[in-house]
Amino acid sequence: MHRTADAMVAAVRREVADLVDVAARDGELDWDAYARTWWRMVRQLVLGTSARDDEALTDDLHVLRATANWAFLHPARRARRDRFLEAVRRRIAFAEPGSLAASMPFAHVTGRTEPEQQVPQWLFAFDAAAWASYRALALLASHPDALARAREEIAGRDLSVTQDLPYLRAVVLESLRLWPTTPALLRETTAPTRWEGRRVPEDTLVLTYAPYFHRDDERLEEADRFAPELWTGPRTEADWPLVPFSAGPAECPGRNLVLHVTSTVLALLVDASGEDGPRLVGRHPLDPDAALPGTLDPFSLRFALGPAGD
């Protein structure tokens, strides 16, 4: 658990409670409402409660990211970038207790480091967690046994304080195994090496394509079905590699934080949905008796949270 876990749970609870009210008012939960809640929550976790409504800051980040892959062709958005980084610097200087940014003034700084450059990644990397948790909710909603296990896990727990929820964490890991948000892991060899009997020279780019490993139905019996049990026991080197957060020294340092936040969000949504929910509504491609699709568009998923027949 992160040292700010309690402050995080408080922010997550407030925002999920608002989201449940919005879903009750609208008759369903859709992606737009989920994403709005998500970013309010992320701004608080990363920058502090006072940043909850600072949409201008994350809007700037979204615009900068939208052209990122075209950076070599697109004219640089210097003014927007400066404005965004200045806003981040102001938030870091404020160092609101309970936020991730509060740790920044203590970062070890040398002539070659720019600590505030880390914060954009903390913010944008939470985007993947929105997709993963929303798809995880769809998996729960379409797999009654898993939903029953999730209900068992939260039964009798006080969700107003930090809870370790291994089954719901496994559900999120499954969402990421089935639909990895970082499909390509990149490395460069630092010395000549031999691999599978061939010589690989120094500076060779190595690409690990996660979906290839995650869905290999010759090596993994569970490849195309929802199988949280893959993650509920310890995984060892001998197991077939599953790498939604990568592995080794560059494994995602946000892994536990993400799993804590997303499992808490799922617990609160399942808890608020009562006996009948959450249920997927409208057209959706998740059939627990068929192979799960290779991709899943989160934007079109909609849920009913209240009792059936409402």
Contact residues toward ligand HEM (CB under 6 A) are: 121-122, 125-126, 128-129, 132, 176, 181-182, 185, 244-246, 250, 252-254, 257-258
**Closer to ligand HEM by Cβ: residue 148 or 250:** 250
Q: How far is the CB of 206 from ligand HEM (least distance, A)?
A: 11
In the bound complex, which residue of the shown chain has the CB atom lying closest to ligand HEM? 254
Q: How far is the CB of 162 from ligand HEM (least distance, A)?
A: 17
Of 47 and 125, CB closest to ligand HEM: 125
Secondary structure class of 187 (helix, strand, coil)? strand
Q: Which of 97, 93, 102 is nearest to 122 (CA)?
A: 102
Torsion angles phi and psi, residue 198, rounded to 5: -110, 155
Looking at beta carbons only, is 114 or 289 nearer to ligand HEM? 114
Nearer to ligand HEM among residue 25 and residue 190 (C-beta): 190
Q: Smallest gap, in angstroms, from Cβ of residue 172 to ligand HEM?
A: 8
Min dist CB 26 to ligand HEM, Å, is 26
Alpha helices (runs of H) in the chain, residue ranges in sequence order: 5-26, 31-47, 55-66, 78-94, 119-142, 144-154, 166-178, 210-214, 255-272
Reduce the DSSP state of residue 303 to 3 states and report it. strand
Nearer to ligand HEM, 84 or 126 (CB): 126
Least distance in Å: CB of 1 to ligand HEM? 14
Q: How far is Cα 282 from Cα 295, in angstroms, rounded to an integer?
A: 18
Give 46-101 as a DSSP string.
HH-GGGTT-HHHHHHHHHHHHTGGGTTTSPP-HHHHHHHHHHHHHHHHH--TTSGG
**Smallest gap, in angstroms, from Cβ of residue 195 to ligand HEM?**
18
Which is closer to ligand HEM, CB of 137 or CB of 304? 137
* Nearer to ligand HEM (CB atom), residue 107 or residue 250: 250
Q: Which residue do the tokens 């934007």 mark?
A: 299
CB 166 within 8 A of CB 229: no
Nearer to ligand HEM, 167 or 245 (CB): 245
Paired tokens of 87? 């806003």
Q: If you search the block for the tokens 């020294």, which residue do you land on? A: 249
Task: Read off the tokens for 204.
Answer: 């060779």
Nearest distance from residue 181's CB to ligand HEM, in Å?
Answer: 5
Distance CA 95, CA 290 (A): 49
CB of 169 to ligand HEM, least distance (A): 12
Q: Where are the beta strands (DSSP E) in 210-288?
A: 279-281
Cβ atoms within 10 A of the Cβ of 210, count? Answer: 21
